[in-house]
Structures are given as C-alpha cells and as structure tokens.
Amino acid sequence: MVESGGCSAKISPRQLEEFLKYLPLPEDPNILVDIDTHDDAGVYRVNDELALVFTTDFFPPVCSDPYEFGQIAAANSISDVYAMGGTPVIALNIMMFPSSKLPMEAYAEILKGGSDIAAEAGLRIIGGHTIDDYPPKYGLAVIGYIHPGKIIKNSGARPGDVLIITKPLGTGVILAAQRLKIASADDADQAKNLMKMLNKSGSEIMNKFKIIGATDITGFGLAGHALKMAKASNVSMTFNLSGIPLIGSTYKLVDEGCIPGASFRNLDFVENDTCFTADLNYNLKMIAMDAQTSGGLLMCVRPEISDQVISELQKAGLSHSAIIGKVTGKKDKYLYLQE
Amino acid sequence: MQIIDTSGEQCPAPLIATKRALKEALAGDSFQVITDNQTSFSNISRFLSDNNTEFAYETTNGIWTLTITKGNTGILNTNPEKYCTTEIPHFSHGDFVIAFTSDKMGEGDEELGHLLIGNFINAVKDLDILPDKIVFYNKGVTLGSENSPVIDQLKEIEKMGVTLLLCATCVKYYSLEEKIKIGTFSNMFEITQALAGASHVLRP
C-alpha cells in the first residue's frame, strides 16, 4: 500500500479558517460547541444530563500495513471525543478504496484494524460507506456521550495553568522519513505504536481531575493546536521546546532537513500570532510545527495538581507525559516559543 | 558549480538534499538545486530565508532552479532575532515620520504625560497607514530602553516594518547603550534626512 499522509494530508489551517468564515453557523441553543471556538468536535445537548460529541477524521495511509493503517486511522478519529472528555459510543466507517488497484484483502484488513481499535475504546461501529477511489482513505465518524456541564474545551485554558503533553512529538517527521526510507525500524515502530494508542486513559484522568481545557495534537502540530486554544481562551501560552518529549531520532532527522511540507503550512498559520525567542533553535521550532497523526493530548492543569496528574498519566502507560509550558494572561502574541 | 537535481522527488527529500549540500559547502560557495515541485520550491525558499541564506531562482515550465550561496555566518543557525522582526507584508506605510523628543506627551502633569504617550503609541500600532520611520531623540530615546512601559508596543511596531532610529548621542548621554531594545543607533545626519524627507512629521 502506498503511504502518503496521515494528518499532514489536511488542507492548510489558514485556508480552512478563511473558508469557514463564509459558512453560516447554524443557530440552535442546543449546540454547545461548534467550529466557532476551533474545537475538536461539535457538541449537541440532548437534555440536562446528556450531550453528544460528534466528530470525523479520515486520511490516506500512513504505513504500508493495511491492518495497522486501520488501527491508526480509527485511534485518530476517536481522539477528538477523548480530547473533549467524552465517551465514544457509536461510529460509522468512512472509506475510499481502489478496488481495481489493490487486493480486497487489504480492504478487509483496514476495516479489521479499525474494528479492533473501536473494540478497545468500547465503541460500536454500526455502519459505514465506501467509495471507489485512489489512494485509499479511511477513518470514522464518531458519536460520544458527555455531560453538558463537563465538556473539556479549547476555551478552558486559564492563566496560571501548566501545559501537559501526553505523547512525544515527531510522527510527521518519522512518517516522512519512512517514506524516504531513512527512518530506523525502531523509530517507525515507536511512532506506529504511539499512533495506535488511544487517548482514553488521558481522557479519564482529565475527568478525574476535573480539567476543563484540553485539545488533542493532530494535523496543525503542537503550535497550531495551542494557538487555537490560546485564541479560544483569550490567553497566551509559553512553551519550553527543549523539554518536549520526542520520538527516537526526530531531532536528528529534522536537523538533516527532514521537515515535512505540513510543517511549513503550520508555520504560516501560526507565525503572525507567535513570538519566537532570539535563541530558539530552528529544528525545535520546526518540531513544534510538525503535524501529528493521532497525537497526544495537550491539557491545561492547575499547577498545584500537576504532579499528581503527571504521575497518574505515567502509571496509565503514558510514560512520556511532561509539563512543556504554561498559560499566562493575554500578551501581545498568543504563543511564545522558547528553547 | 554543483547541481543537485531533485526532479521527481517529493517533499521533504529536496529539502534534505539542499540542507546536506549547505552543510558540505564552504562559505561563499554556490550550488544549484532543481525541483519540479512547487511545494518543495516554496518550502526550500522558506527554509533558506529563515536561515538567512542567499539564493536566486529561475522558473521555466514547472521547473524551479535555485542558485544558493552559502553565507559567511557559519553554520546553518537561524538568526531568529532578525526572523522575529521580519516585516509583515500586509501593513502599508505612509511617508510621514513620528519624532519622539520626550518620554511623555504634551506639557503638564508628568504622570498624565506618560499615560498619554503609551496611548499614543498603541494608537500608532492600529493606524491604517503606518509611519515610514520613527525617530527618537533627547529624552525620547528612553522609550526604547528595556524598562520602558511601551517597549513591547515599540517592538511590535518595528516588526510591522517601521524603521526606528535612535539618536546615538542621546543614548550615550543617558547611558542607555546596553539597555536599548529596539531600532538602530543613528546620527544627526540620518535623523535630519528622515525629518526633511518626510511628507509631514508628527511630534506628540
């Protein structure tokens, strides 16, 4: 199977923002979250106890094994529900598959991968739709349950919060390196395992600690998603990039010039709202722009409970979890990236 | 001259090839990179500009040829200070000049004067047409020191592409050489030229 994109196959965030401006937002008091706040998923209130989190995501293959591709695409699709603190309940498969170019076994393998990850999430896939198209694309449209009063939003960042990341960065770099056959097998395996990993335990820990601001890091990179959060919350965020956990040889690959195109698109998107400090290393800067596929959560946590949160995350198997920055009152720029 | 043909290669392979060649080249050496891919072309250009590396390019029939010259500034490290002050192209500039001759605005109560000058500088930031230059002399230079309450706003104005000139004699007089965080130190000739060449001068 040809590998191409993952979340880096997204259209440019800047273009997207431009087009979305012209779409009228539906007005309904039961719409609790929509694209207006740049959130990960839409939320619709059913009654005082129940709201639905609704999201979709699909992309072309990120690895050559169809089963693994199905797993990764499914974990990525479900992630938005977890990022908002919801519980995934039902889903539909979305598939584009070239039946004349690829063996139908691959089709079955992709669906099997998706279904296995769905099972792990407690999610029931109850239908779907396939179009004949090349290259293949796969993902889910997912509905989750959430309490209308307990939605974790992009707008929930408060000055004083520390920023915790739950997975190391670098999937965009490693995937690009893999396409060029310059990624080591270890790095490729580590990236694949991370992409298959659900944000389920991270989400449960957020609920346990009553965290109200978070997002998942996907195609717009750490900086892009942080910017969306900072804007929605009207705060600024400072990141210490040298403390960010990275997958294997991500730094070395970036230093060799392995900077995927999506990173430049993300840089275009954030740079007017970002201050890069004078001594900021160029490689670290571009790593903050790296498009993640099925990336981790970025959560805003009160400093007094941050140690507890980190220790719970690590206990739950998210061993790379770390504090990588802090939220401040709104300054000139939304983002401050320093070494 | 070395020619690296990356035709047919997708992003980021052309960038990797460019960076490798830059690492191997000696200062002053030139080489060419060829790509048939618009995205790769724009990413390489962006990378080179970000890293203060000089280049020229030609394009014919969907083939881009970049001629890159390795600079003297040694390794491929960014000069992000410069990067941070990169002009943001969509601001339009007039041909007027603002002269700050004091750290306050107008005559009268001192505290009010400081407050007003802050408000004035904020308003300058939001002008539809920005000044061509801003000059600072006498007590005006203190606005550009690190302790100045308006230093962040002035940095922002500088990033918008406005030239800030500070009278070097004045900076020395107030012993602020180490503390000035904006603009360039200038002489009376340059400042006079700026004032004389302006369509009009605002003196708050």
**Between chains, do A257 and B39 touch, taking CB under 8 Å as contact?**
no
Is A27's Cβ below 8 Å from some Cβ in B? no
Outline where DSSP puts E strands in A159-314.
162-165, 213-216, 236-240, 274-276, 297-301
Q: Do A276 and B46 touch (CB under 8 A)?
A: no
Q: What is the DSSP letter of A155?
A: G
> For residue A7, what pLDDT is reported?
52
Question: Radius of gyration of chain A from Cα atoms?
Answer: 19
Position A37 pLDDT exceeds 90: no
Is the pLDDT at B144 greater than 90, yes or no? Answer: yes
The percent of chain B in helix, strand and coil, each rounded to the nearest 5, is 40, 25, 40
- CB of B76 within 8 Å of a chain A CB? The answer is yes
CB-nearest partner of B84 from A180, A259, A278: A278
Active-site option among A7, A63, A258, A300: A7
Nearest to B80 among A182, A260, A277 (CB): A277
Give yes or no for a contact between A189 and A14, defined as CB atoms under 8 angstroms apart. Answer: no
Q: Is the pLDDT of residue A196 over 50?
A: yes
Of A264, A279, A280, which is closest to B43 when you measure between CB atoms?
A264
Quick count: other Cβ atoms within 10 Å of Cβ B169? Answer: 15
Q: Which token pair is B139?
A: 């007590």
Burial bucket for residue A235 (CB in 10 Å: 0-12, 13-18, 19+): buried
The whole-angstrom separation of Cα A246 and Cα A306 is: 21
Query: In this structure, are residues B99 and B203 in contact, taking their beta carbons and an 8 Å threshold?
Result: yes
List the one residue out of A152, A166, A168 whose CA is nearest residue A87: A152
- Asked whether the beta carbons of residue B152 and residue A277 sit closer than 8 angstroms, the reply is no
Residues of A in contact with B156 (CB under 8 A): 332
Q: What band does A149 get if pLDDT is binned at 50, 70 and 90?
A: very high
Sequence-distant (6+) residues with CB within 8 A of A58 are A73, A77, A94, A95, A96, A137, A138, A139, A140
Model pLDDT for residues B95-130, shown as the tens digit of each residue: 899 999 999 998 888 889 988 999 999 888 878 788
pLDDT recorded at residue A326: 97
Residue B62: per-residue pLDDT: 87
Any idea which of A257-271, A278-292, B79-93, B137-151 has the lowest mean pLDDT?
A: B79-93
pLDDT in tens, A208-227: 999 999 999 999 999 999 99
B83 touches chain A (CB under 8 A): yes
pLDDT at B90 over 70: no
Which chain B residues have a beta carbon less than 8 Å from that of A275?
Answer: 84
Condensed to tens digits (0 to 9), the pLDDT of residues A228-251 reads 999 999 999 999 999 999 999 999
A36, amino acid identity: D
Q: Output the pLDDT for position B78.
A: 42
CB-based contact A276 B80, cutoff 8 Å: yes
Q: Cβ–Cβ of B20/A256 closer than 8 Å?
A: yes
What integer is the mean pLDDT of A88-107? 94
Mean pLDDT calculated for residue range A139-164 = 96
- At B22, the amino acid letter reads L
User: Hey, are the CB atoms on A282 and B80 less than 8 Å from each other?
Assistant: yes
Number of A/B CB contacts below 8 angstroms equals: 64
- Whether residue A311 is predicted with pLDDT greater than 50 in this model: the reply is yes
Q: Sorting pLDDT into bands at 50, 70 and 90, what band is A73?
A: very high
Cα separation, B69 vs B54, whole angstroms: 6
A117 to chain B nearest CA, in Å? 31
Average pLDDT score over chain B: 85
pLDDT in tens, B41-84: 989 999 998 888 899 999 998 899 999 998 875 444 443 333 33
Interface check for A254 against chain B (CB to CB < 8 A): the answer is no
Residue of B nearest to A331 (CA): B152
A69 in Cβ contact with A1 (< 8 Å): yes
Residue A4 has pLDDT above 60, yes or no: no
Give CA–CA dist B101/B112, Å, rounded: 16
The verdict on B12 touching A (C-beta cutoff 8 Å) is yes
A7 catalytic? Reply is yes
Report the C-alpha gap between A88 and A120 in whole angstroms.
11
> What whole-number percentage of chain A has pLDDT above 70?
95
Q: Which of A257, A260, A285 sits opposite B19 (nearest CB)?
A: A257
pLDDT at A6 over 70: no
Q: Distance between CA A69 and CA A108 in Å, rounded?
A: 12
CA dihedral B144, B153, B103, B165 (to 10 degrees): 50
Contact residues on chain B for A8, CB-CB shorter than 8 A:
none
Q: Do A258 and B76 make contact, defined as CB atoms within 8 angstroms? A: no
Looking at the partner chain, which of B15, B20, B80 has a beta carbon nearest the beta carbon of A259? B15
Q: Which of B149, B143, B105, B152 is CA-nearest to residue B125?
A: B152
Interface residue B10 vs chain A (CB under 8 A): yes
Query: What does the alpha-carbon distance between residue A63 and residue B87 come to, in Å, rounded to a whole number?
Result: 40
Q: What gap in Å lies between CA A36 and CA A177, rounded to an integer?
A: 35
| B129 contacts chain A (CB < 8 A) | no
Identify which of B12, B42, B47 has the shortest CB distance to residue A176: B12
Q: Which residue of B has its CA nearest to A181?
A: B13
- Taking the CA of residue B181 and the nearest CA in chain A, the distance in Å comes to 12
Most A CBs within 10 Å, among B22, B23, B78, to test the A interface: B78
Q: Do B80 and A331 touch (CB under 8 A)?
A: no
Asked whether B184 and B164 are in contact (CB, 8 A), the reply is yes
Structure tokens at B108: 């009268």
Distance CA(A26)–CA(A35), nearest Å, equals 11
* Interface mutation target, options B18, B84, B90, chain A, most CBs of A under 10 Å: B84
**Is residue A73 left, alpha or beta, with left meaning phi > 0 and alpha meaning psi from -120 to 50?**
alpha
pLDDT, position A316: 96
Q: Is B183 left (phi over 0), alpha (psi -120 to 50) or beta?
A: left
Mean pLDDT throughout A280-300? 96
Count the Cβ atoms, other than its own, within 10 Å of residue A208: 11
For residue A264, list chain B residues with Cβ-Cβ distance below 8 A: 42-43, 46-47
What's the count of helices (H) and strands (E) in chain B, helices before strands?
Answer: 7, 11
Task: Establish if A241 touches chain B: CB-CB under 8 angstroms.
Answer: no
- Average pLDDT over every residue of A125-134: 95
Query: Cβ A279–B18 below 8 Å, yes or no?
Result: no
User: Who among B40, B83, B152 is closest to A276 (CB)?
Assistant: B83
CA distance B152 to chain A (A): 8
Q: How far does A19 lie from chain B, in Å, by closest CA?
A: 20
Question: Does residue B159 surpass a pLDDT of 90?
Answer: no
